Amino acid sequence: MIELYSFPTSTCSLKVRICLAEKGMEYKEHRLSPGENGHLTDAYLRMNPNGVVPTLVHDGTVVVDSSVILEYLDEVFPEPSFSPASPTGRARMRAWLRFFEEKPTPAVRYPTFQKFLIHNYTRLSPEQFEKAAERRPLKTDFYKRMGQDGFTDAEIAKAMDDVRLTIDRMETELATNGPWIMGDQYTLADMCVAPLIDRMDDLGHREMWESAHPAVTAWFAAMRSRPAFEAAYYPGSRMSEFYPEHA
């Protein structure tokens, strides 16, 4: 029995949904909504004290953190495998996973909140906003930096630079060793970064790769053509669909 607690639009949730679809696995999805704070209830926090999505529950075992969940699924359900067979190959893949978690994963939050999610907080009183920020175990500082007026131009620019760094590194790797990040094998690394690139596309920034990154452009087209990718992106999985009034 596999259960997945996720937001439809969460890039981290989408990584896991892509993996589950690639493996052809059935699971029960608990679709939470960021506006309803289902990830901050006492019951959820007992499962995942970080108060974020996704959370995977497999036969009663709780697994948190999207990249950890990806590796867990690939170890427990090894057919088909989406990790290199050799220790050196797996080490290279894990280095990419760590890079994606360090740079683009936090970076895409800035333009996402600036365009879509800040509208959930602009009508709150300062006291209500402070309380909302304090409720988030991992993201209190992020919310306080955003405030109710949004991030500064410098903060947005830094986030965009981190995304560009990611695209540049991917272009170098894909152009040299593609078609996938790990070469001929489609792996967890591709699943991990694809929702982040899709989010930037949804935000209207496809020029970041289409103008001068042909290998990334081809890779992204190949990702989006996969049936598992389409299955993971059910209706309402993109911010422009979830918040059409701000698209």
Q: At CA 164, angle to CA 236 and CA 11, rounded to 5?
A: 25
**Per-run averaged pLDDT (10 residues), the chain, 247 residues:** 97 98 98 90 97 98 98 98 98 98 98 96 95 96 97 98 98 98 98 98 98 97 98 98 93
Q: At what angle do helices 214-224 and 153-177 cross, to 10 degrees?
A: 90
Sheet holding 61-64, edge to edge: 28-31, 2-6, 55-58, 61-64
Q: In CATH terms, are 2-76 and 87-226 the same topology?
A: no
Q: β-strand 28-31 against 2-6: which pairing, if any?
A: parallel
Spatial separation of the C-alpha atoms in residues 191 and 18, rounded to whole Å: 7
Torsion of the alpha carbons at 247, 121, 16 and 161, rounded to the nearest 10: 70
Q: So what's the pLDDT on residue 33?
A: 86
Domain parsing of the chain, residue ranges: 2-76, 87-226
Q: So what's the pLDDT on residue 247?
A: 86
Ramachandran assignment for 41, one of left (phi > 0), alpha (psi -120 to 50 degrees), beta (any other) = beta
Q: So what's the pLDDT on residue 35?
A: 79
Whole-Å CA distances, 120 to 57, 129, 244: 29, 10, 14
Q: Does 87-226 carry CATH code 1.20.1050.10?
A: yes
Q: What is the pLDDT of residues 134-150, one digit of tens each?
A: 999 999 999 999 999 99
Q: What is the pLDDT of residues 177-189, one digit of tens each?
A: 999 999 999 999 9
Spatial separation of the C-alpha atoms in residues 189 and 100, rounded to whole Å: 8
> What one-character DSSP code corresponds to residue 182?
B
Please give the model's pTM, rounded to 2 decimal places.
Answer: 0.97
Mean pLDDT taken over the chain: 97
Q: So what's the pLDDT on residue 36?
A: 87
Q: Does 2-76 carry CATH code 3.40.30.10?
A: yes
